[in-house]
Every structure is written in structure tokens, then in C-alpha cells.
Amino acid sequence: MLDTPFLSEAYADDGAVETDRIADLLHLTRLQLASAAGLSRDAVSKTARLRAPATQARLRDMIEILNRTQGWAGSPQMALAWYRSQPLPSFGDLTAEDLVKQGRAEAVKRHLSRIAEGGFA
């Protein structure tokens, strides 16, 4: 599914994101995970909401961004720190977390792809 082993462990056998696994891998509580992904507490704690396509998509976006950045950030926790706190000048100094919460994860992914190809941030 993902080539980076770090957060690929966050997926269940059926491909769904497992909040307990990802929270453990990132050393977060469910509430902190929900906040980082821009989701409500219910979205990550109630089974029906957790399995909803919108919730799964938001969690997958966050995982993909963290997987893309953890190599140069140095560790999964540093990738999360970057995601939550590094202002991105190309986006008016919003963080990747801010953009994901606004539903603009694809813009962050394109930004990271551009950087990976040698473009400017």
C-alpha cells in the first residue's frame, strides 16, 4: 500500500486506517490525532464515523504527508512536528496541518512533490 514502512503499519487488513495504531506510532492520544487531522473526537472513536469515507480520506492524507516528510525530517515524530508547526510561505504561512484541516491536502502533496523534484518551497 505505502512504500514507507513507518505509517503503513497504521492500516488494518481491510485497508482502513486504524486510529489506535497511528496514535501509538505517533505517540498521540486519539483526541490529539483527531485535532491533527482536523476531525472531531467522534470521528476517530465511533466505529461508524471512523469507517466513513471522509474520515478515512482525511486520515490517509495526513499519513501520506507524514510519510513523504519523515525521511528528511529525521523521524516520525519530527515529521509530525513539521506538519503541525512549520509555516509554508507558498500558502500564506499556513502549516500543512492548517491546509489539511481546510481540505487542501492535495495542495500540500503537490508542494512536497515539487520540492522532491528540486523546486522551490
Q: Can you state the angle between helices 19-26 and 53-73, rounded to 10 degrees?
A: 20
pTM of the predicted model as reported, rounded to 2 decimal places: 0.87
- Give the Cα separation of 35 and 29 in Å (integer): 10
Closest CA to 90 of 114, 64, 116: 114
Write the pLDDT tens digit of every residue in 87-102.
999 999 999 999 999 9
Write the pLDDT tens digit of every residue in 17-53.
889 888 998 999 999 999 999 999 999 989 889 999 9
Q: Can you state the angle between helices 30-37 and 19-26, rounded to 10 degrees?
A: 90
